[in-house]
Chains A and B, each alone.
Chain A
Amino acid sequence: MPDLAAKGPELTDRTRLALLLAPALLLLGGLFLAGLGLTLLRSFRYMPALGLTEPDLAAYVAILTTPDFLKSLALSLWIAGASTILAASLAIGAALLLRQTFPGRAVVSFLVQLNLTVPHIVGAIGILYLVSQSGSFARLAHAAGLIATPAEFPVLTHDPYAIGIILLYVWKELPFITLILLANLQTLGEDHEAVARSLGASRWQAFRHVLLPMILPGLAASSALVFAFAFGAYEVPLVLGQHAPKALPVLAWQAWTDTDLATRPEAMAMAIVIAVVGLALLALVARGLIAGDRDAP
């Protein structure tokens, strides 16, 4: 859309564009790319200040051959995978529900929006007070005569299956995906399924073959964001995670803050592993962007 306004009398489009974009690109480049770049260099143990001028792969070899790292990697993949699948499936239901009218709809949609603004660490502590062995649910179980002592209540926080962590992510990301889907549905209009239904499709067929394909791009993009976040967030497993194996970001932080400076490159290598997962997800989502770019003049 190179329009009339864009062709100001003083500046060409190119100069104008460069001037408009330069501050943001310089700032983000200076902070984000430089931060990532230095993490990468140090993961190759390139630290001239310490006399290390020969980059090598020792840090990667070190982490890939320790069971701790592999267990943490598996745990974080499990957390991110389970959270994403659960949150996305429930969000489809929530979005379809909130698209309809029912008494109290305003309250539910207010709660969905409110939840989006609650910081993760608050939710994590809330989940801790809710489902820990002396938490509110355990007290309810006691009142119902199901358990006599806290120890009899199932271990849902700091547990090997990371149930508390997954619960938090489902709680926090369900509203996020729901709002993306609702925005998506709003732009689509309402009639497509009705048309399918009137042509004889069943409820399920109308959903599976008409609605789902239409909301899929938004669902995929928001799910990818959720996965990347749940895989790399630090404060949630910090509050709700078990001692060993730790979630990968917690393990990386521990290696970075270790008094033994030799583990620093390993922390950097773990951060790069997390970055690679994030970038891979970005690449999946970005294919649409690049394809759109090719149409540009």
Chain B
Amino acid sequence: MRPDRLRLLAALALASFLILPLLPLAIWSFAHGWRFPDLLPQVWSLKAWSYALGPRSGVLQSLGVTTGIALATTILAALVGIPAGRALGQYRFRGKGLVTLLLLAPAFLPGIAVVFGLHGIFLRLGLVGTVPGVILAHLIPVLPYMVLVMAAVFSRLDPDFEAQARCLGATAWQTFRNVTLPAILPGLMTAALFAFLVSWSQYLLTLAIGGGRVQTLPLLLFGFSSAGRNDITGAIALLYILPGLLVILLTARQITGRGAALAIGLRP
């Protein structure tokens, strides 16, 4: 076989592999009963969607909770992560390796390694079963990611511009507002979009710290899935991957170019 033919075949195999697991979810969401051995549902219907988007399923409420938690986590992570990213991106100092390690560790350790202990602490602080508790827990995987991406952004920022602004009489705030922020904004936006997705995808931390009282979409999804409601599960699953799709459409060109740090955050 000619090399370009082989290449096309490999590309086709890769594309099919990537899309296949999402297909049954999409089909189920429009199926009205879909029994073995039917290849496709005999009756199509919008029932699952109208139930999922209706008031009784709790999906819309859950969508609101999940979005709110992810937004709050992202904003907190940005507020704390921008300065830390600046320190790591623009300075060399003794102990930098150690600091980077501490910031990387939560990306390497699965949530289950810390969540039992965290639950004990949050229990004492009255944070178990609360939205603020879940937001704080989500910071564990989200913050390292934000710091690492911002460090990469700051390392490409030329500090001379800021020095010149200061020499010309700008205050520290004016320098940040008019010089630094515009320069880091594109990187910050991408980091924020992906930080949002990291929080959006959390399962275990929400389950343990939310204590069943904070019902985010993945918890609801698993509930319907284990109850055997494949049609509603399919509809919720499609809703749940929508933000990721939007983020990719928004950032498509940056991802391959921006280096490894971006992708690393999407572990948990």
Binding site for B on A (CB under 8 A): 1-6, 8, 13, 17, 19-21, 23-25, 27-29, 31-42, 93-94, 97, 100, 102-105, 107-123, 125-130, 134-136, 138-140, 142-143, 150, 168, 171, 174-176, 179-180, 182-184, 186-187, 218, 221-222, 224-225, 228-229, 231-235, 238-239, 249, 252-253, 256, 264, 267-268, 271-272, 274-275, 278-279, 281-282, 285-286, 289-290, 292-293, 296-297
Does B117 contact A38, Cβ atoms closer than 8 Å? yes
Q: Mark B75-106, 1 if CB is under 8 A from A, else 0.
A: 00001110110110011111111111111111
Contact A39-B113, Cβ < 8 Å, known A6-B159, A34-B121, A130-B24 = yes
Task: List residues of chain A with CB within 8 A of the CB of B39.
Answer: 136, 139-140, 143
Does B91 contact A28, Cβ atoms closer than 8 Å? no
Query: In the complex, A220→B190 CA distance in Å?
Result: 25
Task: Identify which of B94, B258, B267 gathers the most chain A CB atoms within 10 Å of its CB.
Answer: B267
Does A134 contact B117, Cβ atoms closer than 8 Å? no
Task: Identify which of B24, B105, B245 gathers the most chain A CB atoms within 10 Å of its CB.
Answer: B24
Q: B195 near A: Cβ within 8 Å? A: no
Kindly count the residue-residue contacts between A and B in the assembled complex, taking CB atoms under 8 Å apart.
345
Nearest chain A residue, comparing its CB with the CB of B266: A116
Does B110 contact A274, Cβ atoms closer than 8 Å? yes
Does A139 contact B110, Cβ atoms closer than 8 Å? no
Query: In the complex, A228→B106 CA distance in Å?
Result: 11
Does A239 contact B225, Cβ atoms closer than 8 Å? yes
Contact A97-B203, Cβ < 8 Å, known A5-B166, A39-B117, A234-B111 = no
Pairs A-B, 4 closest by C-beta atoms: A232-B110, A117-B244, A293-B97, A126-B21
Query: In the complex, A222→B92 CA distance in Å?
Result: 25
Does B221 contact A179, Cβ atoms closer than 8 Å? no
Query: In the complex, A248→B7 CA distance in Å?
Result: 40
Residue in B36, B225, B252 whose beta carbon sits within 8 Å of that of A113 in the complex? B252
Task: Identify which of A108, A143, A187 gathers the most chain B CB atoms within 10 Å of its CB.
Answer: A108
Query: In the complex, A271→B118 CA distance in Å?
Result: 12
Contact A235-B203, Cβ < 8 Å, known A102-B11, A182-B256, A183-B259 = yes
Closest-CB distance, A277 to chain B (whole angstroms): 9
Task: List residues of chain B with CB within 8 A of the CB of A168.
Answer: 21
Residue in B25, B101, B243 whose beta carbon sits within 8 Å of that of A286 in the complex? B101
Does B121 contact A118, Cβ atoms closer than 8 Å? no
Task: List residues of chain B with CB within 8 A of the CB of A224.
Answer: 108
Does A122 contact B144, Cβ atoms closer than 8 Å? no
Does B140 contact A25, Cβ atoms closer than 8 Å? no
Does B110 contact A296, Cβ atoms closer than 8 Å? no
Contact A129-B28, Cβ < 8 Å, known A108-B15, A114-B244, A297-B92 = yes
Closest-CB distance, A225 to chain B (whole angstroms): 6
Does B118 contact A38, Cβ atoms closer than 8 Å? yes
Q: DSSP class of A's interface residues: helix, strand, loop or mixed?
A: helix
Residue in A25, A143, A176, A234 whose beta carbon sits within 8 Å of that of B99 in the complex? A25
Residue in B114, B137, B143, B245 whose beta carbon sits within 8 Å of that of A24 in the complex? B143
Nearest chain B residue, comparing its CB with the CB of A170: B17
A/B interface sample: 28 pairs, CB < 8 A:
A3-B160, A5-B162, A5-B166, A21-B83, A33-B102, A35-B118, A35-B121, A35-B140, A97-B10, A102-B8, A103-B8, A119-B240, A123-B21, A125-B233, A130-B20, A136-B39, A140-B39, A171-B21, A175-B18, A186-B257, A228-B108, A234-B111, A271-B115, A271-B116, A272-B113, A290-B101, A292-B97, A296-B93
Closest-CB distance, B190 to chain A (whole angstroms): 12
Q: B136 near A: Cβ within 8 Å? A: yes
Does A6 contact B147, Cβ atoms closer than 8 Å? no
Does B266 contact A110, Cβ atoms closer than 8 Å? no
Query: In the complex, A134→B7 CA distance in Å?
Result: 33
Does A102 contact B139, Cβ atoms closer than 8 Å? no
Query: In the complex, A182→B38 CA distance in Å?
Result: 41
Contact A121-B218, Cβ < 8 Å, known A252-B112, A274-B112 = yes
Task: List residues of chain B with CB within 8 A of the CB of A25.
Answer: 84, 99, 102
